[in-house]
Amino acid sequence: MPHYACNAQFQTCRIIENLQIADDTFRIRIESQAIARETLPGQFVMLRIHGCNDPLIGRAFALYDRYTEDHAQWQGIDLVYLVKGKFTQALSRLSEDDLVAMNGPLGNTFSVAPVDHLVMAVGGVGQTPMLAVGREALGSQKFGNEVDELIDGEQTLSRNGYAKKVTLLYGARTAGRLAGIQDFRNAGFDVRLATDDGSIGEPKPVTDLLLDLLEVAPATESIRIVCCGPEPMMAAVSAIAKEKNISCEVSLETPMACGIGICFSCVAKIRQTDGQWDYQRTCVEGPIFDSAKLVW
């Protein structure tokens, strides 16, 4: 019977490139056919710098994208990271042919139940899982261990998506921090932006973008919200979803140590069927949770 981390590989992998794509934000391309083939949207990998014990503990990063050079198979993955502390500062100094230790894919995935409109509400560096999520939703890419069919670098549309349209509501502190906008537009998402300082659009939080969208959404349209970002923002999105009776899944970025369910450093409070709450591990039972079950 499949269990968590049953497809996970622990590999030493070569960096193909490590590019700055926005203020303090990098996209790193890492070679690993197995991890590219197996990882599903919403899942993550644990990363360490090969041969380096400082920091000793790995960091989690969501799958952003996959790449191919030979147009025959996926050859590795792209991660997008914000330079924040010890690990990401060290990571940003690496370049082509340096090595990282990568463990993945890990964690659960977003729901793929059919819906008219998938609304992705993200803030900070919470946009990172959403490129893969939206592509799967629209049916433009399939993920997992099925055989990939690539023609001239484009995957054939061998599976229907589960959403008719995808909207990305993306909030950041300032315009320079918005990363990968063109990737999301190229993928066919309706992209709406908000910044705290008004350097793009009006200064407003991403929750206002969500309220604007819901106000004009047709009553007959089924909507599901998926959300990732700073915890207060996710809590606010969850409150809106609850008030409007819309289903909502959040991807938690709880700091993790092992990533595979052993240390319990990553727990979140989750409501049980009897109304009480209990701790669940973000790395195993998550990182994606039904927002209605989270105790913020």
283 binds ligand FES (CB under 6 A): yes
47 binds ligand FES (CB under 6 A): no
Considering only residues 7 to 46 of the shown chain, the ones binding ligand FAD according to CB under 6 A are: 44
Considering only residues 259 to 288 of the shown chain, the ones binding ligand FAD according to CB under 6 A are: 287
Q: How far apart are CA 95 and CA 43, in angstroms?
A: 25
262 binds ligand FES (CB under 6 A): yes
Query: 3-class SS at 155?
Result: strand
# residues contacting ligand FES (CB under 6 A): 12
81 binds ligand FAD (CB under 6 A): yes
- Of 85, 114, 188, 203, the residue at the interface with ligand FAD (CB under 6 A) is 85
Give the distance between the most distant pair of CA atoms in the chain: 56
- Of 33, 73, 111, 265, the residue at the interface with ligand FES (CB under 6 A) is 265
84 binds ligand FAD (CB under 6 A): yes
| Partner that binds at residue 258, options ligand FAD, ligand FES, none, CB closer than 5 to 8 Å by kind | ligand FES
Smallest distance, Å, CB 242 to ligand FAD?
23
- Strand residues in 108-218 grouped as ranges (E): 115-123, 150-151, 154-155, 163-172, 190-195
Closest CA to 167 of 147, 193, 189, 139: 189
Residue whose C-beta lies closest to ligand FAD: 85
Kindly provide the b/e burial profile for residues 244-253, where b requires at least 16 CB atoms within 10 angstroms of the residue's own CB: eebbbbbbbb
| Partner that binds at residue 281, options ligand FAD, ligand FES, none, CB closer than 5 to 8 Å by kind | ligand FES
The label of the residue with tokens 């727990």 reads 267
Closest CA to 15 of 90, 80, 113, 95: 95
- Strand residues in the chain grouped as ranges (E): 9-22, 25-31, 44-49, 59-62, 65-67, 76-82, 99-106, 115-123, 150-151, 154-155, 163-172, 190-195, 223-228, 247-251, 267-271, 277-281, 288-290
57 binds ligand FES (CB under 6 A): no
88 binds ligand FAD (CB under 6 A): yes
Q: Cis link prior to 232 (omega < 30° from 0)? A: no
Smallest distance, Å, CB 87 to ligand FAD?
3
211 binds ligand FES (CB under 6 A): no
Residues of this chain that interact with ligand FAD (CB under 6 A) are: 44, 59-62, 79-82, 84-88, 125, 128, 253-256, 287
The contact set with ligand FES (CB under 6 A) reads 256-259, 261-266, 281, 283
